[in-house]
Structure formats: structure tokens, C-alpha cells
């Protein structure tokens, strides 16, 4: 399946619906083609604008979808409208379903380790029983919390761990720009992996530690506002957004 790419301030977004994004991924999984999926929101586009070297990292992904109503709005202002917002959390669930139906092992990398959670179980490990209930036949073949070092020997250990698990689908949930940089730097060292997803805080959502906004907020394009209400410290990050819309 060919996807049309739309340039939004230098980032090449795929002009796809959620269903199209999922079939693109499934076709490539079946064909054994490597696919990195990034889900930039306006903050990530703004990071590229402020540090041009990040463009190469972001644009290296085979599928870039707009996780944020702000990117979709910008596409309309630029008169090159994207079809819709493709929320990373939801696309991640579609990929889990693809993995389960095609018998592909999943590895979850990222999120808090056992010492940082109330239950004493890492966030990635908390996801396992939830996924097993929701996606029949899914095989989560390994997990690694996101608070290890991302370079040197500790990172070699992470790579070995993923390779030994035989995983073909890898969730990298470290937040931006850590996760995109990690995938970009390490993808050549992971010969089994066919799908990489850079998915920020999605393990926190799957595990039930963080709630998504109520449906009405999502429908009105106000999910970002709900997140701001829940986590007021995000204001520092969000202050960058007017720059994204109006230029520097």
C-alpha cells in the first residue's frame, strides 16, 4: 500500500486514517519489511525546528502519523489537510492485535521500573496480563523498564535481552525525543525486530496508571487540555506550541 506523505514544517506525515495505518503495518509485517512508527505531536515537530538534526531521526521512520490535533490543524492551515489524527495509543492497540493474529512476539521497553511504582511491579510488566486478556493469543516475550542507561554496557544488555527474546514487535516508550533517538541509533542491532513503535507514555495508559481523556474531550480536540489539567507541569512543554503555529 502506497501512502501519500504531507510535509508539515519539515516532518513527512502519512496521510492515512487509523484503518489505513493499521493495514499498512499489517501488510509490511506479512511481507517481513521493517517499519518504524513515530507519532509526533506539535511538540516533537517543534523540537525538529529548534534542533534541525532531529529532522533526520524523525523522518527516518517508515510511518509517521499525527498524534495531536495540533498537527492536523496545522495541515489545514497549510492547505495540505491530513485526513485525521491517528492517536499513538490507539495505533499501538491495533499493532498488538496484528501481533496476536500473526503470532509475532512483542517486547515492551519503557516506563517506570518496579521501585518507582506503587504496586512494586514495573509498568511494562503490569501491561502483560491486561494484554493477554484483551488480545487473545498475544505473546509478550520480554520487558525492560525505561530507567536504565540508554548507552554503553547497560544498553548493550538491553539489546541482548531484546534479541534473545526473539521479539518482532518492539514498543519503545521512553518519551520524545529519547525514544526516536534510541530507535534511530539501535535499529541496525536488532535483526529480528520488524516493527518499532515510539509511543511515549502509552504503557502508562495500557496499564491503567494514567487515564485517557473522556471521549467528549477527544471528540472536541481537547485531549491536550485534559492532560494539562491532570498534569499542570506540562505547561512548560506546551508553552512551545504557539511557536509551532506561528513560527519562531
Residues in the chain: 248
Per DSSP, the residues of 127-177 read HHHHHHHHSTT--EEEEE-TTS-SSHHHHHHHHHHHHHHT-SEEEEES-TT
Prior bond of 177 cis (ω within 30°): yes
C-alpha dihedral, 216 to 220 to 223 to 229, nearest 10°: -80
* Choice between 101 and 113, CB closer to ligand UDP: 113
* Choice between 27 and 231, CB closer to ligand UDP: 231
* Choice between 191 and 236, CB closer to ligand UDP: 236
Helix, coil or strand: residue 6: strand
Q: Which residue is nearest to ligand UDP (CB)?
A: 146
> For residues 188 and 173, what is the distance between their CA atoms, to the nearest angstrom?
19
> For residues 99 and 105, what is the distance between their CA atoms, to the nearest angstrom?
7
Burial 136-147 (b: 16+ CB within 10 A, else e): eebbbbbbbbbe
**Residue choice 63, 168, 201, 223 for contact with ligand UDP (CB under 6 A):** 201
Binding string, 99-138, against ligand UDP, x = CB under 6 A?
-----------xxx--------------------------
Look up residue 11 and give its DSSP letter.
E
Residues 6+ away with beta carbon under 8 Å from 18: 84, 86, 87, 90, 91, 94
Decide if residue 146 touches ligand UDP (CB under 6 A): yes
* Choice between 21 and 29, CB closer to ligand UDP: 21
Could you tell me the smallest distance in angstroms from the CB atom of residue 26 to ligand UDP? 24
**Residue choice 204, 207, 223, 224 for contact with ligand UDP (CB under 6 A):** 204
Decide if residue 58 touches ligand UDP (CB under 6 A): no
* Choice between 101 and 237, CB closer to ligand UDP: 237
Number of residues located near ligand UDP, criterion CB under 6 A: 14
Binding string, 170-199, against ligand UDP, x = CB under 6 A?
---xxxx-x---------------------
Provide the binding-site residues for ligand UDP, judged by CB under 6 A. Answer: 110-112, 146-147, 173-176, 178, 200-201, 203-204
Amino acid at each position: 500500500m502506497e501512502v501519500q506523505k504531507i510535509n508539515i514544517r519539515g516532518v513527512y506525515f502519512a496521510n492515512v486514517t487509523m484503518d489505513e495505518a493499521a493495514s499498512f503495518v499489517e501488510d509490511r509485517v506479512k511481507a517481513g519489511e521493517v517499519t518504524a512508527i513515530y507519532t509526533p505531536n506539535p511538540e516533537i515537530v517543534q523540537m525538529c525546528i529548534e534542533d534541525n538534526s532531529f529532522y533526520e531521526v524523525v523522518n527516518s521512520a517508515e510511518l509517521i502519523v499525527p498524534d495531536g490535533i495540533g498537527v492536523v490543524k496545522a495541515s489545514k492551515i497549510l492547505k495540505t489537510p491530513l485526513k485525521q489524527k491517528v492517536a499513538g495509543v490507539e495505533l499501538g492497540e491495533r499493532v498488538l492485535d496484528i501481533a496476536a493474529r500473526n503470532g509475532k512476539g512483542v517486547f515492551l521497553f519503557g516506563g517506570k521500573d518496579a521501585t518507582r511504582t506503587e504496586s512494586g511491579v514495573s509498568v511494562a510488566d503490569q501491561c502483560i496480563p491486561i494484554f493477554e486478556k484483551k488480545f487473545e493469543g498475544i505473546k509478550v516475550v520480554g520487558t525492560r523498564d525505561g530507567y536504565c542507561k540508554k548507552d554503553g554496557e547497560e544498553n548493550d544488555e538491553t539489546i541482548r535481552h531484546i534479541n534473545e527474546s526473539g521479539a518482532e514487535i518492539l514498543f519503545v516508550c521512553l518519551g520524545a525525543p529519547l525514544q526516536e533517538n534510541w530507535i534511530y541509533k539501535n535499529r541496525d542491532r536488532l535483526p529480528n525486530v520488524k516493527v518499532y513503535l515510539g509511543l511515549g507514555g502509552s504503557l502508562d495508559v495500557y496499564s491503567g496508571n494514567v487515564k485517557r481523556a473522556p471521549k467528549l474531550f477527544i471528540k472536541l480536540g481537547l485531549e491536550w487540555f485534559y492532560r494539562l489539567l491532570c498534569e499542570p507541569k506540562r505547561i512548560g512543554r506546551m508553552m512551545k506550541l504557539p511557536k509551532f503555529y506561528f513560527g519562531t
